[in-house]
Amino acid sequence: MSDAKPDPKPAQGERPRRLRRGLRVMPINKMIPNMLTLGALASGMTGMRFALNERWEAAAFAILIAAILDTLDGRVARLLKGSSKFGAELDSLSDFICFGVAPAMILYHWALEDAGRFGWFLVVLFAMCCAMRLARFNTMLEDDKKPVWAGRFFSGVPAPAGAGLVLLPMILSFQVPEDYVGYLQNPYLVSVVLIACGGLFVSTLPTFSFKNMKMARAWMMPLMIAVAVLAAFVVTDPWLALTAILALYIASFPLSIRSYLWHKNRSTNPMPAPEPTAE
């Protein structure tokens, strides 16, 4: 007979260690960013529901709300020091649904249902490009060899911006007379926009990462005035304001390319140190 004794039973009122480990609570500073991410996910899903009911403005507005919440969750996480691996994974999954699947599905119901299999192929292609863009972004975060200045740029268009660009024909249709909506709703135009925006997702086009940009103090007051004017513009005519923002973003592409190449050349060909002069 074995001399091994059975493990002692835990005292009354004492929970097993494994059970206690499973019941650990998440700190509130980590819950708040995740709640914002889930709110963005809910908004993106709701946008698809609005599209099924042909409520196009509500569908586009839902994607806009998702983009705002997606912008806030990362900043709130850094502010509260609540960043976590779980939050990062949840954010990527939410971005794929909100900015890869939802905009493509909205455009499919808006303009591509009569395009048959080709229209559905473009929807799937756009979603896959968004997924690859997010996967590449996550892997680049782990690159410790990346120079400091590279953090000022994205490689390709970020997911929220890509969703806004691909919905631009629909956003423009809210502002033009009824007789011109058909031109913007043309399946060929929407197909070209889907392909172009999908290509921007997976491209290596350097685009500005505004959260890491630094600005001279002299520009702070003009920037604050511009933001105040833009906020008033958004309240009075949100679709026109969003169109202007997207147009300015597209116009920034040549500037971002030029700035990226300037930083790259400066890092590969540093300026020689000045020769010491005699005192």
Give residue for tokens 């590969």.
268
Torsion of CA 190, 90, 203, 206, to 10 degrees: 110
Name the residue among 77, 46, 78, 76 with its Cα closest to residue 64: 46
Distance from C-alpha of 157 to C-alpha of 40, rounded to nearest angstrom:
19
Question: What domains, with CATH codes, occur in the chain?
Answer: 27-261 (1.20.120.1760)
One digit per residue, the tens of pLDDT, for the chain of length 279 reads 445 555 555 555 555 555 445 446 667 777 889 999 999 999 999 999 999 999 999 999 999 999 999 999 888 888 888 788 888 899 999 999 999 999 999 999 999 999 989 999 999 999 999 999 999 998 887 766 777 777 788 999 999 999 999 999 999 999 999 999 999 999 999 999 999 999 999 999 999 987 766 666 777 788 788 878 878 887 888 999 999 999 999 999 999 999 999 988 887 765 554 444 443
**How far apart are alpha carbons 271 and 279 in whole angstroms?**
23
| Sign of CA pseudo-dihedral 174, 62, 159, 133 | negative
- Strand, coil or helix: what is 153? strand
212 vs 149: CA distance, rounded Å: 9
Residue with tokens 């839902």: 62
Rounded Cα gap, residues 86 and 188, in angstroms? 40
Do 101 and 127 meet the contact criterion of CB atoms below 8 Å apart? yes
